[in-house]
């Protein structure tokens, strides 16, 4: 609770430090938290690491059946995702990332860049160093961060109801012990299983709007007791009991 109050205070300081240049409001250089600070307004045509960081955080708003590329290029798809993010949180929805958008993002992220409602620990119950999967430990952890931001968007769309995670990244040995498929996205840090509530069908249906192109749930073999959400190169949705 104290950390959240500190974050809100810092966000207020950020707003107070805005600089107005030629009628355009640009973000100041004050650090809003310990994760990442944007120092310029971003819009279609922008490129760079700051765009890539923005894309990670709005990757859960690509639109139905779409996946946002995390490539550092602010194109039409990124503008649309930013617009949907702004609409979701009641901001001025113009597809331009400026002070209001950044302030909301700062409020949504912890100092390790994870969204406030999810942690690296729950995305990796296999080991402490993200090793032993199908990709390097750094890549697996980076992939997991992107999944968490998609989960944050999904959680918000489901009425800010908590989501219960059960299995995220797995090393090859952890995946084998869990009976996972040999090419499972869990091995890449690109998948998460959800249990509890909301219902698995609610989760699976809503996930179609939030950048998950692998959705497995009730009706798919061995998935009647959880919802599986992942990211991969092509779409595969199967939860026949949910009409998917």
* Annotated catalytic residue within 186, 223, 226, 228: 223
CA 40 to CA 102: how far, in whole Å? 10
Are 68 and 214 contacting, i.e. CB atoms less than 8 angstroms apart? no
CA 134 to CA 181: how far, in whole Å? 12
Q: CA 177, 139, 48 angle in degrees (round to 5)?
A: 155
CA 93 to CA 165: how far, in whole Å? 31
SS3 218: coil
Rg (CA), the chain: 18
- The CA–CA distances, whole Å, from 88 to 31, 61, 65, 98, 143 equal 25, 9, 18, 16, 24
Q: Which helix (H) or strand (E) holds 149?
A: helix 137-157
CA 44 to CA 47: how far, in whole Å? 9
186 has catalytic annotation: no
- Which amino acids are annotated catalytic? 223
């Amino acid at each position: 609770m104290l950390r959240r109050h500190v974050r809100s205070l810092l966000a207020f300081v950020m707003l107070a430090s805005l600089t107005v240049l030629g009628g355009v409001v640009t973000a100041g250089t004050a650090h809003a938290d310990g994760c990442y600070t944007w120092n310029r307004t971003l819009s279609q045509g922008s490129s760079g690491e700051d765009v890539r960081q923005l894309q990670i955080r709005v990757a859960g708003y690509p639109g139905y059946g779409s996946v946002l590329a995390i490539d550092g290029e602010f194109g039409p798809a990124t503008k649309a995702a930013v617009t949907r993010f702004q609409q979701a949180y009641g901001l001025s929805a113009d597809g331009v990332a400026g002070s209001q958008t950044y302030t909301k993002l700062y409020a949504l992220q912890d100092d390790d860049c994870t969204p406030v409602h999810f942690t690296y620990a729950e995305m990796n119950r296999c080991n402490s160093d993200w090793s032993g999967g199908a990709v390097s430990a750094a890549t697996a952890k980076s992939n997991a961060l992107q999944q968490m931001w998609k989960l944050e968007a999904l959680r918000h769309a489901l009425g800010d109801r908590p989501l219960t995670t059960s299995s995220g990244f797995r090393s090859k040995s952890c995946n084998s012990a869990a009976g996972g498929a040999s090419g499972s996205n869990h091995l890449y840090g690109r998948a998460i299983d959800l249990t509890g509530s909301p219902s698995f069908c609610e989760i699976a249906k809503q996930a179609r709007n939030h950048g998950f192109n692998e959705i497995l749930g009730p009706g798919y073999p061995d998935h009647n007791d959880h919802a599986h959400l992942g990211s991969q190169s092509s779409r595969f949705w199967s939860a026949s009991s949910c009409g998917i």
